[in-house]
Amino acid sequence: MKFGIMVNEGPYTHQATDSAYQFAKATLEKGHQIYRVFFYHDGVNNATRLTEPPQDDRNVVARWSKLAEEHGIDLVVCVAAALRRGICDENLAPGFRISGLGQLVEAGIQADRLVVFGD
């Protein structure tokens, strides 16, 4: 089965990001495919390389980057939501790219299921 994932919440303020990441890992471990992960609203904060969590905390941004690198996952950040929050190409973490809502629509069309995390 092919999944699209939408993340609407920031990395350290809501459980949605951790749930989305764990869902993606479990999906891949079961042999399914992730078509795309689309970050929207405050979820775009998952994509900034400017995040520096304490050493004893999880590095949410690095986890997404590593997952994308290992499995060839397309990590897309909504351009309008990103620009509102000061995120641009120059401060994106590895593996992320900025694009428009058309990428979310395409994920909904191409994937068998689109799973949304956060409000």
Q: Which amino acid, 92?
A: L
Based on the number of CB atoms within 10 Å of its own CB, is 23 exposed (0-12), middle (13-18) or buried (19 or more)?
middle
Q: Check: CB of residue 89 under 8 Å from CB of residue 98.
A: yes
The yes-or-no answer on residue 78 being catalytic is yes
Choose, from 47, 78, 87, 107, the residue flagged as catalytic: 78
DSSP 90-101: GGBPTTEEEE-T
Q: Say how far apart CA 27 and CA 8 lie, in whole Å.
A: 19
Enzyme catalytic residues: 78
